[in-house]
């Protein structure tokens, strides 16, 4: 193994219930998942926008997306994905430096 998806960063909209701890535990039980990190980005009266980072070996995006939907959430976007034998760190480019100005 070691050639599948190893890292996913997802932008997810979910209702307040169930709470993020329950969603994190549910995702962590999926096959191939080594760890789950959920960060609250924005909250309003009825929903929460969260960033979900999942690491593992040969992650199954369809199963992950289905689990998020079972918890009442919806994936807005895949913000980052890493695949292969190892996760490659992003390097800063000249274009990144232009964004600072």
Q: Is the pTM value of this prediction over 0.85? A: yes
Q: Which domains does the chain have, with CATH numbers?
A: 5-98 (3.30.70.1340)
Average pLDDT per 10 consecutive residues for the chain, totaling 101 residues = 84 97 98 97 96 96 98 97 87 74 58
pLDDT at residue 99, rounded to an integer: 65
Give the sign of the dihedral formed by CA 76, CA 41, CA 17, CA 59: positive
**CB 18 within 8 Å of CB 75:** no
pLDDT for position 94 = 80
The CA distance from 87 to 31, in Å, is: 19
What is the predicted pLDDT for the residue at 2? 53
Contacts 24+ apart (CB under 8 A), 35-42: 41/11
């Amino acid at each position: 193994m070691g050639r599948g998806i190893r890292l996913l960063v997802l932008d997810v909209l979910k209702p307040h219930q169930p709470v993020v701890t329950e969603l994190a535990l549910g995702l962590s039980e999926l096959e191939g998942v080594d760890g789950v990190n959920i960060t609250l980005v924005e909250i309003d009266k009825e929903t929460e926008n969260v960033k979900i980072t999942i690491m593992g070996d040969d992650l199954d995006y369809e199963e992950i997306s289905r689990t998020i939907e079972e918890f009442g959430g919806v994936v807005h976007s895949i913000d980052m994905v890493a695949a292969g034998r190892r996760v490659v760190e992003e390097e800063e480019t000249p274009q990144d430096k232009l964004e600072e100005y």
